[in-house]
Structure 1
Amino acid sequence: MTTPATQPPPIELAPWQVEIGGVVLGKGTQIPIGDIEGLGSPTVRAQDVDNPVGDGTNPGQDLYGPRTLRIEAGIKTPGDPAAAADLLARLQRALDDPAARTRPEGRHVLRGRWPGHRTRRLYGRLRRVEPTSTATAIHGWIPLDIEFAGLDPRFYEDEASQLTLGLDQAALHKPGARAVGAPLRVPAQGDGADPEDRPGWVTNHGNTSAWPALRIHGPVAHPRIWNSVTGRVLELDLSLRTGEWVEMETRPTTCWALRNGTDNVANDLTPGSRLDLFAIPPGRSEIGWSGDDPTGTARLDVSWRSAYTGL
């Protein structure tokens, strides 16, 4: 879970603008956009099975494949071909980024802003930055064909929400009790509880499931995390010393669990612990956690981005 302090500040986008690799395209920029394809429904991976003894097909699951965006744009720097070449080179460097291109977990990020919405982002791979003609490059005009494969077809809030939960100190004084980081009961609508009294509340402002990143800081043994609305649980059969941590990523196509940033501890998850199902539903829900910690200093960091079906 990378903290905002280690990241450069994001580029502020205006409506009708898109940003890839630090290059802004669209209205009011030197790279105007003519058209964007792929903002509708993602491709569908139908799992239908033909009827082996008659007409028709038996329906299976309809799963989403990648959301492929095709952007028709053009670099426009009238009378300055060197500036046009520099913008093209910046886009090509974004395409060539080894951290995104050569690692299985690597992803490019496409950010965009639709009128009336805040900036949202799409995770995937930038697959094509192609000048479709160089005949007018001498005049500072280079038409472009850009392709971005959104391997996770959802759009996410550009700004991440964050939450930190310590273990309940009162529980530590009960013999044999395990410390609890938040209440188990589902928060009732209109119950009037002060948010300060319910530290585990999380809100997904989107219209589809969001996927949290979770980091457990030791010292703690047998940590257990749950969402009181979905009932999903993540439980690890391990112990962390002071200064150690486990980080878990649940977003589709990037599920993993690492100890101290290097050691794979996915096998330490109990059989019922499914990273790929530990989602935050739309609206408000509650995250809780427990563990054995005699010092009361262990904590859980949760980070998530509200998720949307469209830009």
Structure 2
Amino acid sequence: MTAGDLITADGQLEWRGALLGSATPFRLTKLEGWLDLTEMRGDDYDRPSRHGMYPGASLMGKRVVTFSFLVKGVPLAQFQSMVDWMRALTAPVEQPVEQPLVIRLGGQSWMTMARCKGRTLNVDKYYALGYTTGAIRWEATDPRLYSPAEHVLTTPLASPATTGLKFPVQAPFDFGTGPTGGFLTATNTGSVASWPTLQIDGPVTGPVITNHATGERLAFDPTVPITAGQSLVLDTDQRAVTLNGGNASNLLLTRGWFPLLPGTATRLDFTASSYDPAALLTCRWRDAAA
């Protein structure tokens, strides 16, 4: 099951395989931090002996999402079990692992990876009657919101062109065929840059991935082969390179990391030191918003 599959209506949230919000016992009363721009961090610095500052980097901080709810209309005999269920759902885990939080508003579902950092369940004079209010707070170290669906495109290396005209020339003319493959075009339909995961499956020697528009390159040692059955994975967001799960950062000689810019079709060219029809480049990404 993909994160967000349980959601069927606006105002619903999915967390740890559970549905909250509209049409559930935990009804949404307020949602904070989801559509907001997060606090920005940067390093503007003073203009010496002048008014104002010079602009430095302006980067998003973590995203904090608070879901306020009320529990109403639950049979009194089931009320305490619903409260216990909520406490278990939001209980901390031993390892600091972020999990998918998906929310749908205005017909659009977006996802972030977050950890539950707070829960309130208010106890007042109406609690004994099966009525309470509360809130859940999540924090996401990556502030971007992503499409729940992951996009996947693949391309082999460009096949060599077939032989064209042979002399002496005689009709009908055979111009041959040009190379096929060797590139893919990924489009991020969100509003902020999205950093893709790139996977190269062997056999291939000296693979190179190039951003066609900017010339930025991710180039590997041209003498080191990636054999059949091996997979080289580049996490462009984390700047991590692994070969069959082990660290292979030393093989990456040119580190021209690049994202998929919003609203732009980004062409990625796939080349190598030698041609093998079984070599394959796979690009995985999600649309990203803020």
Please indicate the TM-score interval, normalised by the length of the shorter structure: 0.7 to 0.9
Q: Which runs of 5+ in 1 are unaligned?
A: 174-178, 184-199
Q: Which has the larger radius of gyration?
A: 2
Residue pairs, 1:39-78, within 5 angstroms: 39-51=35-47, 53=49, 56-76=52-72, 77-78=74-75
Change in CA separation of 1:169 and 1:11 when aligned onto 2, cut-off 3 Å: same
User: Do the aligned residues in 1 keep the contact of 2:7 with 2:19 (CA within 8 Å)?
Assistant: no
Question: What is the CA–CA distance in structure 1 between the aligned matches of 2:5 and 2:276, rounded to whole Å?
Answer: 38
Change in CA separation of 1:168 and 1:132 when aligned onto 2, cut-off 3 Å: same
Structure 1 residue 242, shift from structure 2 partner:
0.9
Q: Alpha-carbon deviations, 1:169-203, whole Å to 9, x = none?
A: 22699xxxxx98435xxxxxxxxxxxxxxxx1222
Question: What is the CA–CA distance in structure 2 between the aligned matches of 1:75 and 1:229, rounded to whole Å?
Answer: 53
Q: Which runs of 5+ in 2 are unaligned?
A: 164-178
Question: What is the CA–CA distance in structure 2 between the aligned matches of 1:47 and 1:116, rounded to whole Å?
Answer: 37
Structure 1 residue 47, shift from structure 2 partner:
1.3
User: Do the aligned residues in 1 keep the contact of 2:260 with 2:266 (CA within 8 Å)?
Assistant: no
Higher mean C-alpha displacement, 121-130 vs 147-156: 121-130
Higher helix fraction: Structure 1 or Structure 2?
A: 1
Structure 1 residue 307, shift from structure 2 partner:
1.2
Say if 2:10 is the partner of 1:12: no
Say if 2:111 is the partner of 1:111: no
Question: What is the CA–CA distance in structure 2 between the aligned matches of 1:111 and 1:144, rounded to whole Å?
Answer: 19
Change in CA separation of 1:259 and 1:134 when aligned onto 2, cut-off 3 Å: farther
- The size of the alignment, in residue pairs, is 270
- SS of the equivalent of 2:81 reads helix
User: Do the aligned residues in 1 keep the contact of 2:31 with 2:66 (CA within 8 Å)?
Assistant: yes
- SS of the equivalent of 1:15 reads coil
Q: Alpha-carbon deviations, 1:196-223, whole Å to 9, x = none?
A: xxxx122211122122111111111111
Question: What is the CA–CA distance in structure 1 between the aligned matches of 2:234 and 2:190, rounded to whole Å?
Answer: 22
- SS of the equivalent of 1:32 reads strand
Change in CA separation of 1:292 and 1:172 when aligned onto 2, cut-off 3 Å: farther
- SS of the equivalent of 1:87 reads helix
Question: What is the CA–CA distance in structure 2 between the aligned matches of 1:27 and 1:8, rounded to whole Å?
Answer: 17
CA-atom RMSD in angstroms: 2.8
Identity of aligned residues (%): 26
Question: What is the CA–CA distance in structure 2 between the aligned matches of 1:70 and 1:295, rounded to whole Å?
Answer: 52
Change in CA separation of 1:295 and 1:267 when aligned onto 2, cut-off 3 Å: closer
